[in-house]
Every structure is written in C-alpha cells, then in structure tokens.
Structure 1
C-alpha cells in the first residue's frame, strides 16, 4: 500500500514572539494555532511534540491491533499514552504506556507482540530516539 499525506505550517514573526498555524488536508487540523508559548510554556494551541506523541500512540495502537489479529486475538481496547521528552533542543525519549484489554491472551505473549509492534510501527522507525514501552493487561 502506497500513499502520501499532506500538512502545512505557516509561521509569522520571530521565534519567541511569533505564531503559526498548522493545517492538514483531512481538515482535522485547520489553521490550528501553535507558538513559542504552546511549545515551551502554557498556551492555547498545539505543538510539534504533542503531535508526534499523538501520531506515535495512534500508529502503535493500530500496528498492535493488526499483529494481535494475525495471532487470532481481537482487542477490546488498547489505550496508549505517549510521553515525548524534549531536552536541550532534541527529543531524547518517547515512552509508550499501553493498557490492553485482550481476551484470552497471556501476559508474556501480549508483551512479545507489543514489543514487535513498537519495533515495526512506522512512526517508531521514523524516530531517532529511545522508545520505551510499558505495558499491562486488564
């Protein structure tokens, strides 16, 4: 399967005092605000790191669902929280905290499949940083 997705950013002004917007072709982000404040302090809007976290959590959850299906399991829910750690100008780590409700799977097989999903998830492959996985079954 091959496809292309599109997003746009517009920035106006200096790095600290300026502000920008993000827009995606899907319309989910439509001139969504981002700025120095939303990235490094508190403010209304988004920032690149939380978008990376959302993308990584979503990609990992979907990848895990596919792998569980290949092993004849259907998850009731896969809740994934991603924490993106930014330090001295770079993303140094992402932690994926997985809570799964998957009928009839034992914890060791769940851990094995989850680790494989973390390693082959396209967003995991894209990121050049440590990726830590914490998982638990309901």
Structure 2
C-alpha cells in the first residue's frame, strides 16, 4: 500500500465495514490552496472542482463526496491521518515530498473562492508526542 496509494488525488481513503469512508492520508502541497501553517498545523483544501494551477482558481464547486466526505467523516470518527508535505523545489523544477507525521482533522468549513465557487477547507493538527520537522531547514536545502 505505501504511504499514499493515490497517484493523482491528494486524499487517500478506505471504506470501512460499516460503509463509512475514512481518510488514510493527504498530500498537502505548496502552490495549491493548501496552507502549511506551521509544523503543527495544515489547512488542507478539499478535492474536486476543477483547479487551474496557472490561475490558482477552482472553477467548479466542491462537494462532500469522495475524499472530502472521508475527511469530514474522519473528523467525526477521530481517526489519525498521515500527512505528506509537498515542498516546491525551484532548483529541480519540481516538488519534493516528505512524510510529516500523523494528524487529526479538527474542523472544516466551506469558503467562497474566485468565480464565486465554493471550496472546502480542513484544519489538520499534528498528534502529540511526534518529532516536529523544521520545514525551513528543508526548504532552504532545496535552494
């Protein structure tokens, strides 16, 4: 299975025996709407809608389906989610992915974006007793 089974989508999830889907992992990447707030917190923007990376605009409304439903259910269930951070690497013209640790969804909300399209954001907080990663150290090593 690996750390994150999805090749394209940023939210990986699994269906439980009771029929609910719960998130397993997310890839939070700079350059999208994701906000890498601190080593303890990520504001993750849900999937769906058509995101245009050039204009940084969601062109279609996001809904609570698929991965977004899994993250919402995970908040209610309180399960842990692996977070992988994607950090821009200008020198290599790409993104470097680093496993960050275990987090929980603490809240979520809908937000009105460009073109009056709704997108969904989730606040993820690091679980206690994990080593914090100094992201500035990694970001500076990419330059």
If the length of structure 1 is used for normalisation, what is the TM-score? Answer: 0.27
The structure with more strand, counted as a fraction of residues: 2
Q: Which has the higher contact order (CA 8 A, sep 6+)?
A: 2
If the length of structure 2 is used for normalisation, what is the TM-score? Answer: 0.26
Q: Larger radius of gyration, structure 1 or 2?
A: 1
